[in-house]
A = this chain, B = another copy of it.
Amino acid sequence: MTAVATLASNDTVDINAYVEDLARRSVAAGRQLAAASTDQKNMALTKAAEALRANSARLIDANTIDVESVKKAGKPDSFIDRLVLNEERISGIADALDQIAALPDPVGRVLNTVERPNGLKIERVATRLGVIGMIYESRPNVGADAGALCLKSGNTVILRGGSESLNSTRVIVECLGEGLKAAGLPQDCIQMIDTPNREAVKALLTAVGLVDLVIPRGGKGLVSLVRDQARVPTLLHLDGNCHTYVHAAADLGKAVSILTNAKLRRTGICGATESLVVDRAVAKDFLPRAIEALGDCEVRGEAEAQAIDSRIKPASAEDFATEYLDAILSVKIVDDLDEALTHVAQHSSAHTEAIVTEDQDAADAFLTTIDSAVVMHNASTQFSDGGEFGMGAEIGIATGKMHARGPVGLEQLTSFKYRVLGNGQTRP
């Protein structure tokens, strides 16, 4: 069996037929995967981890080809950094597979049981979703994580990584395939779209009846393309324009350490704070201390903030709507909780927002009113992460309100069905 079908970008083969073939193979593999035991799925994952470790030199070679051509194309360093694989990163990818193997199987859980007066027993049971299409942009490890999470949750997956990482993805998918083979599962459980042809994305998004869900992970361009073209269900991962609100009754020492962690621990993740909202009552005390602690981080604010601390640079209206993903922070000074709630509601991308305060009523109002996937009291927004939530690995952070919200881990990759157990009941 050839590991993966390959299609050149200038291939004249009908791209729709190619993607439909991948999808049909995924559906067929899913029927076998649905009958697989937890042990079998775990074995596939641990054997895939072994294959990744054993093939790390080959993976680095393939990755080098990807990295070289991206360098030639003059992509920015941050882009190249996300693409690069080395021994350490490959070891991390393999470890993640082992960790997913160690998580409980999310399929088959009885979520709820009702016994009706007529004797019918109705059980809600977790099931696999089916065929998942995963579209992602930069880091090759996303493909391995997604493949492993889908496998463990009984789903088959079609990976569509960035065209810059095709060589790396091909080796990763081969290693995952070795794990599947070792466990007696079809290699078609984890496939990739092996062509840079962009029409493949549209074909995946319109494969109604074959693809059960598409999960895009990438920038705004990708998300809006998916929203425009999708005819199958999607789980969108939008930007994280996260706010930390320092309330008048905040412990300012706590606020400084929470804010610096929320902004700077890692600036490139979606749970990083992008905007500080601070009550006027404490702004004069707080801002200089915070800016001191933030070090080289650029802080942008309006005239009032600049008057408090001359290190603050001017902010435009656009700043408050911007996910910097960099060492830049916007500052908004507000009258009180009410203005903070209004400002956050207007600019938040409904990912994660935190309030820092010792006033329980203010905290309760913030947590209740703010309509974000994750709302926090006295904690760093950087905790918005499946691992930190105790879910194990995550495939991303959903910012929509349907099906899953916040970290998307194994449980969020399942659906359910109702099992109705009777003894001949008919409905009056």
Contacts and interface: CB of A to CB of B under 8 A. Distances in A.
Interface of A: 34, 114, 116, 120, 122, 127, 129-130, 208, 212-213, 227-228, 231, 233, 235, 251, 254, 257-258, 260-262, 265, 354, 367, 369, 371-380, 382-384, 388-390, 400-403, 405-406, 415-427
Given A233-B402, A401-B129, A403-B402, A427 B382 contact: yes
Nearest to A382: B427
B265 A389 contact: no
Contacts of A251: 424
A375 B423 contact: no
Nearest to A34: B369
A228 B231 contact: yes
A422 B261 contact: no
A388 B425 CA distance: 12
A426 B258 contact: yes
A258 B257 CA distance: 66
Residue among A34, A231, A417 with most chain B CB within 10 A:
A417
B403 A257 contact: no
A375 B418 contact: yes
26 contacts: A116-B388, A120-B383, A120-B388, A122-B389, A122-B390, A130-B371, A208-B227, A212-B401, A213-B401, A213-B402, A233-B402, A251-B424, A258-B424, A261-B426, A261-B427, A354-B420, A373-B418, A374-B417, A374-B418, A375-B419, A378-B421, A378-B425, A379-B420, A383-B425, A405-B418, A406-B417
A345 to B, nearest CB: 9
A367 B124 CA distance: 12
Copies, count: 2
A416 B405 contact: yes
A244 to B, nearest CB: 11
B116 A379 contact: no
The secondary structure that dominates the A interface is: mixed
A379 B130 contact: no
Contacts of A418: 373-375, 389, 405-406
Nearest to A122: B389
B422 A376 contact: yes
Residue among A122, A374, A401, A421 with most chain B CB within 10 A:
A401
A415 B405 contact: yes
A261 B428 CA distance: 8
A420 B379 CA distance: 8
A426 B375 contact: no
Contacts of A116: 388-390
Contacts of A257: 424, 426
Contacts of A228: 231
Nearest to A370: B417
Given A379-B422, A383-B422, 11 more contacts: A114-B390, A129-B402, A213-B401, A258-B425, A262-B426, A371-B417, A373-B418, A376-B420, A379-B426, A382-B427, A406-B417
Contacts of A403: 402-403
A380 to B, nearest CB: 5
Contacts of A233: 400-402
Contacts of A262: 426
A175 to B, nearest CB: 29
Would you list the 6 A-B pairs with minimal beta carbon distance, nearest first? A379-B422, A261-B426, A401-B415, A403-B403, A376-B420, A254-B424
Contact of A417 (B354, B372, B382, B417): B372
A427 B376 CA distance: 13
Nearest to A424: B254
A202 to B, nearest CB: 14
Residue among A377, A406, A425 with most chain B CB within 10 A:
A425
A377 B130 contact: no
Contacts of A34: 369
A41 to B, nearest CB: 16
B378 A422 contact: yes
A378 B419 contact: no
Contacts of A424: 251, 254, 257-258, 378-379
